[in-house]
Structure 1
Amino acid sequence: MAITTAEIARRFTPPATDPERAALKARICAKAAELALLVHELVPGSREQSIAVEAIETAVSFAHHGIDRRLTTPTERIAARAAEPVPAHDYDRAAAEAAVRPDPL
């Protein structure tokens, strides 16, 4: 089956995601679609054309996974900071250490 421009548009439409990641994924998809359309234009309909477009699709998929798995958005950083325990003051730490230290002879 020859790849159509409609199929390229379907394959390289960014997936639905939170707004903070959507812009990044849209930029990747736009550039990938541009490359896929160039392949479609320059390479005759063939197995090689299909493999080239699939390779671009794979690259986009891994890029999206990288964004989903590794990118920490500002909203997530704020939530993580709010969940962190408040650090103990030095006097609290000294009192805790003194409570478990054996008395010197």
Structure 2
Amino acid sequence: MTEITADVIVAVVSIFTAGITMAIGSIAPALGEGRALAEALQAIAQQPDEAPTLTRTLFVGIAMVESTGIYCLVVSMILIFANPFWDHFITKAGG
């Protein structure tokens, strides 16, 4: 049977945390964008003359909401490819 070392534990926890970060971190932006779009379409249906203003504001708002999902993606990529804990284990192992 193989021995579970500290670097294996760090790898497993990092990959699991990256997956959970993306799973949870992408739900809220998706729901927020859907709700923003539904409200904007309802507002445009009620006042068609204000469509250009509402559309511009909608795009800015969706970009702000989407930034949360992008931050989660960045955190996941850091955990997988540039994990700061790896340096600690590499120096302890003498590499």
How high is the TM-score relative to the length of structure 1?
A: 0.46
Return the structure number with greater relative CO, CA threshold 8 A, min gap 6. Answer: 2
How high is the TM-score relative to the length of structure 2?
A: 0.49
